[in-house]
Amino acid sequence: MPKLQDLKEQRAAKIVEMRTINDKAMNDKRDLDDGERKSFDALDKETRSLGDQIDRAEKLAAYERLEASGETVSGTGEMRRELRNYSLAKAATESLAGKLSGVEAEFHQELSKGRETRGLMVPVDILLGGGAETRAITTTTPASYVGGNLIRTDLAAMTDRRRPALKVEALGATVLRGLVGNLDLPRLNSSGTAYWIAEHAATTGSDAKFEKKSMSPNTVSGQYELSRRMVLQSNEAIETILRRDLGLILAQALDRAALRGGGTNEPTGITADTDVTELTAAAFSSDATADMIAALETDDVTGTTAFLMHPNIMKIVRKEKDTDGRVIPASELFHSKPFDVSTQVPDDGASPATDQLIYGEWASLYLGYWSGVDILMNPYADSVASKGGVLLHAFLDADVVVRHPEGFTYMGITG
């Protein structure tokens, strides 16, 4: 079977031939003669056939990427184009009617393979860009969630609310997609011992030690209550709500759990993992960051590392001055290591605050996804059935594991 690029080149060549025939006739200010028309029609037929082959090849390439272990759904090339054509509003509406079609049906079928689903399966990358929360959107009250603002008067483009920066994946966490069963991550915990021996003497035996970290799905969910009028009258704005807000609250919950998850109905995050070293809380200084760097170097951590902190710490960093009153560059205070900021990082809310500064080899943090985002449109719940509305549920199954605890350290910064 010809390669996708070869098919595209063949189609482009046919189109050029067709344009040449048509341009020649136009330049002569005449219609196509019988021979030209026959050639043009033959080229048109071949072009359409090549177009069909290209469509099939692109779909197969997209499905192959979906099947690949650890492959992100966003992908590149044809897959990205498939996602651009995906309409969550269309998928949600057709799912409610039980008549899913098009690219939305194709993604649902692929993501549902080997899994029991209760609603609509949506590619993770369509939604995640968010924690579990519930809110009712109606055309009237309550004032803080006025759905009426989304009904055409006409409607300007909707702006998003301010959100915490999601940094875990961006810093380099290892992402595993398409998981089905529970996953064990084994590793060599400690090696044996080497001994110097005399000539023709027996050596001393020793054992290597192994351990494993296990991953299993935890479910994070969100729910909206949509009134009947909201569904009927907000066709354009509901797409933005479904894509961004619902998806981002799930992504925000996972990102937050990766940093501070307590392990009860949620993953155990970095600062809650008892195997991760916590340094004694102290005021911010270049000495403190040097101690954190040394803690990893002492454990032979050699991968790419970076600091992540609460904005309260960055406020202190920007005020650090030398003895002459000059502001010290942040790069010097962090010893040229990368650093970033997010309100997802734990803070104790006290005054004065003790906020967390995390330093780590972020590839040692594993994020596993067992599903896309499972969306269930439920018009039969008691709370909405008599009103003609619908409950929109979203579920994501994922887990977080610090595979190499020695790859992280953290400390409270007082101030």
Residue 388, sorted as left (phi over 0), alpha (psi -120 to 50) or beta, turns out to be: left
139, 140, 141, 144: CA torsion to nearest 10: 60
Give the fold, CATH level 3, of 119-415: Major capsid protein gp5 fold (3.30.2400)
Name the 3-class secondary structure at 78: helix
Q: What gap in Å lies between CA 385 and CA 270, rounded to an integer?
A: 43
Q: What is the pLDDT of residue 341?
A: 94
Residue with tokens 């409607």: 155
Q: What is the mean pLDDT of each run of 10 residues along the chain (415 residues)?
A: 71 85 85 88 89 79 52 46 71 72 81 69 65 45 49 52 76 88 82 85 83 89 82 62 74 92 92 93 95 94 92 93 93 94 80 80 92 80 84 88 94 88
Q: What is the pLDDT of residue 131?
A: 41
Q: What is the pLDDT of residue 74?
A: 39
Beta strands in 342-385 (DSSP E): 354-360, 365-369, 373-378
Q: What gap in Å lies between CA 415 and CA 408, rounded to an integer?
A: 23
163: nearest Cα among 126, 137, 130, 128 = 130
Q: How far apart are the first and last CA of the chain?
A: 66
Neighbouring CB atoms inside 10 A of 163's CB total: 15
Domain coordinates in residue numbering, the chain: 4-67, 119-415
337 Cα distance to chain centroid: 25
